[in-house]
Structure 1
């Protein structure tokens, strides 16, 4: 087996494979000096760079250094070599909470204990400006004593991720656990969105199934948006009332964590010592996320430095679903005449698509700016009251297949539609495989 028996940088011995995903594998490990068991997450640098996940991985490293709590998986250190990044983490011997739920619903007293620990951990994260955004039983681990440990901060956001409106705007998470305001794509409060996910988890622990489920994905989203669910008859009335306040589709009236902690059902047997308790251990050495991506003599570094192209980012479940006009989620929340976005797919390399877009901008005498992976076309001011500005974002579906989103960020809407229809769309003919939403796909060889 890959890595088994190997020693990492004279510090950690690799053991059996514990799990794997698209970009990483997790191994059991042992600290050679102390003999302590650890989990070693091995991330392939090349894969995450190609997938545009570099910033996401750096954020995960930064986040894990911020949240030291008894109910959060402890992060010991990050190491790297030319090809891999290694996260050295606490080994949760009890496995995923999901495995317990998969066997059937939990007893009320057990479910409440896990929920109390979850709320304490999430509250601690929020107070340090960290929003998890993918809370679900699969991301909740158990240690050898049966204590809950929140893990996988790969989709988390920090306070500085908020836009000028004070909200987060990245649609992410697992559909069945995601809050209605996240689906709406109008911006959301990370605290309120995490609270909703905690409510779904609580329901699942006690019922043994999801509150919002439908074989038709659109129907499931409608149920989430209206909070249409039914509690089993074995749920006590005080729990039903608590769930009703957590699974409130209006984030402004949804219960806060502070109020959850005051709830009579929640407080039964609650161990207040775990409330926002920071692990009293030696301080983690500040984690250098940038150093993890150092090429260390990588021969490709010089070639990469020649041109700064926006990195394609991975599509999440919501974006992939939206590729089908039958599953256009925005129609649930936005009137058709409000839509300002056009999308097309391309079978060309990312560099070819970007090159064509820059060529079009040059012909239209528009300035081109690369803002952290986002192309922005903008008119020169020349005394114009409000210049037209167009945002273009590139997403990678596969290495040879991309989705491009074009939308107006400011300026006259009628002018934008005219430029898009008469100038941009016709000029893109060479690189467009299909305009998303059109019934007739024009396939390019």
Structure 2
């Protein structure tokens, strides 16, 4: 990270094309700074075009806390999935050896909480913010994302007063559902959490979000919380019974909408579609104009390097890079950029450690073959080792041992990520069975059979990358 500045002026930190400014806030693992995009400013960009917020995350501190690395990876993936006018946008992710830098849209207007703290809003103002909140939450739910921490502190305003949902650190994806199809992690802010979350019996994340939306609406219209008490146990008792009072200044239509959201039985709680059909919500509602899906950038084999780090990008835009035909056969593998390719070849270049499991040796290799060929070879080698094969969504192959191992039957999923026409990265994931059996599978068992297509295994000395990459 370089410093810049003129004589007599305070020297400022520069991260690549971003000049860092004042501290906006901080938490246990990260600090958020205001920054300017110098490339936008250099072309005459002002205001929102050059202003960004950069979350600076300490890798070492994250590694010391179990589950935090995966949580950050999930948060970044989710932010890429939910590109919407009423969601804080993510621009890019940079990394150095010690830190990760998440570059996000800057919301100049600050938290909606600051407005509510000064007193309740007029019904028209509350309606406008609530309409934008519901539009954003509905979009997230259609993408399979449950936010799980909706509250005014996580609702920002841009320079035009447009609401922006932020902080997806507790958000959940479908793969986090248990066998019963429900989420079980108890999380969120107590005063905004749905009763079914508190009961610890499993819950639907989307329906729990709608309860939180109801609490937010109540706060906007009333200026205080519907369920509050100095004693948490008594507050929870109120939540379990939906025991609240609506002040007389709230209109009848707004009361009825709140009553349809703050329903203890999640199955009877109003859905997004039902909310949008109510007279109170429909008044003056203009659906946000969604941007067209982001087209993934053309694959490039030159990774930039800022502060000794590199861009971490899973390649996704608004949509996943894999697609299937009607028969369920994959037609395109996930793409992988050059940073991931370099990371997979040599641990010396690996700055993505934050985003990987601690056990990394021999779990990733780079192949000099088309994705389809790699998948066929994986299947052939696995069958020869006595594994049952199942094709998964995208270019994934699940391999399960027929024989019992030390701790049950070993199951491994291999995913192929395309870098170029004849270059792919393969990642092995441990699904079931003993960890030692998994390590042996990756480091010893499959290597001989894959030798003819392997370019380099992660952690091994890489081949001459410049020549090889140049011809890919």
Question: Mapping of 1:213-232 within 5 angstroms?
Answer: 213-232=228-247
Normalised TM-score (structure 2): 0.61
> Displacement, 1:280?
4.1
Whether the 8 Å CA contact 1:61–1:287 is kept in 2: the answer is no
Deviation at 1:208, TM superposition (A): 0.7
Per-residue deviation at 1:177? Answer: 0.3
CA distance in 2, matches of 1:370, 1:44: 34
Q: TM-score, normalised by structure 1?
A: 0.65
Q: In structure 1, which of residues 27, 42, 45 is the aligned counterpart of residue 59 of structure 2?
A: 45
Q: Secondary structure at the match of 1:6?
A: strand
Correspondence for 1:185: 200
User: Match for 2:78 among 44, 57, 63?
Assistant: 63
Cα 1:156–1:205 shift into 2, 3 Å: same
**Gaps spanning 5+ residues in structure 1: where?**
308-365, 378-445
Deviation at 1:148, TM superposition (A): 0.1
Measured after TM superposition, the shift of residue 278 of structure 1 is: 2.5
Alpha-carbon separation, structure 1, partners of 2:135 and 2:168: 16
Offset at residue 163 of structure 1 (A)? 1.1
Look up the SS of the partner of 1:51 in the other structure.
coil
Question: Aligned to 2:153, which of 113, 138, 141?
Answer: 138
Shift of 1:284: 6.3
Maintained 8 Å contact 1:65/1:287: no
Show the 5 A alignment for 1:23-38: 23-35=29-41, 36-38=50-52
In 2, distance between residues paired with 1:153 and 1:197? 15
Displacement of 1:288 after TM fit?
2.6
Contact kept? 1:125, 1:131, Cα under 8 Å: yes
Give me the whole-angstrom Cα distance separating, in 1, the residues matched to 2:430 and 2:108.
39
Deviations 1:155-183 (A, max 9, x none): 00112211111111111100100000011
SS in 1 for 2:267: coil
- Structure 2 residue aligned with 1:5: 12
2:23 paired residue among 17, 29, 36? 17
Shift of residue 79, structure 1, vs aligned partner: 1.0
Sort the Cα spacing of 1:375 and 1:159 in 2 relative to 1 into closer, same or farther, 3 A. closer
- State the shift of 1:30 in Å: 1.2
In the alignment, the residues of structure 2 paired with residue 135 and residue 305 of structure 1 have an alpha-carbon distance, to the nearest angstrom, of: 34
Match runs of 1:340-419 below 5 Å: none
Question: What is the CA–CA distance in structure 2 between the aligned matches of 1:370 and 1:92, rounded to whole Å?
Answer: 48
Deviation string, structure 1 residues 240-294 (Cα, Å, up to 9, x no partner): 111111000000111101000000011111113x1xx4324854669339979x7
Mark the runs of 5 or more structure 2 residues left unpaired by the alignment. 4-10, 42-49, 298-311, 316-335, 362-405, 412-428, 435-472
1:278 maps to 2:282: no
Asked whether the equivalents of residues 48 and 54 of structure 1 are also in contact (C-alpha less than 8 Å), the reply is: yes
CA RMSD, 1 decimal: 3.3
| 2:314 alignment partner, one of 288, 291, 296 | 288
Looking at structure 1, the residues matched to 187 and 408 of structure 2 have their Cα atoms a distance apart, in angstroms, of 28
The CA distance in 1 between the partners of 2:266 and 2:410, in whole Å, is 34
Structure 2 CA distance, aligned partners of 1:284 and 1:18?
31
- What secondary structure is seen at the aligned counterpart in 2 of 1:85? strand
Please show how residues 243-254 of structure 1 align to structure 2 within 5 Å. Answer: 243-254=258-269
Distance 1:306 1:282 in 2: 31
User: Counterpart in 1 of 2:426?
Assistant: none
* Residue-by-residue CA offset, 1:13-32 (whole Å, 9 max, x unaligned): 11111111110011111111
Paired residues for 1:83-162 under 5 Å: 83-162=98-177
- Contact kept? 1:44, 1:83, Cα under 8 Å: yes
Distance 1:245-1:12 versus aligned 2 partners, 3 A rule: same
Q: Distance in 1 between matches of 2:63 and 2:175?
A: 23
Structure 2 partner of 1:264: 279
- Residue by residue, what CA displacement relative to the aligned partner does 1:177-230 show, whole Å, maximum 9, x if unpaired? 000001111111111000000000000011110000001100001111110000
Q: What is the total number of aligned residue pairs between the two structures?
A: 315
More deviation in 282-291 or 113-122? 282-291
- Rounded Cα–Cα distance in structure 1 between residues aligned with 2:144 and 2:360: 36
Which secondary structure state, in structure 1, belongs to the residue aligned with residue 276 of structure 2?
A: helix
1:70-109 CA-partner distances (Å, limit 9, x unpaired): 0000111111111111111100000000011111111110
1:298 Cα deviation after fit: 8.1
Query: Match for residue 322 of structure 1?
Result: none
**Residue in 1 aligned with 2:305?**
none
Inter-CA distance 77–306: structure 2 relative to 1 (3 Å threshold): closer
Partners of 1:104 and 1:75 in 2: how far apart?
Answer: 31
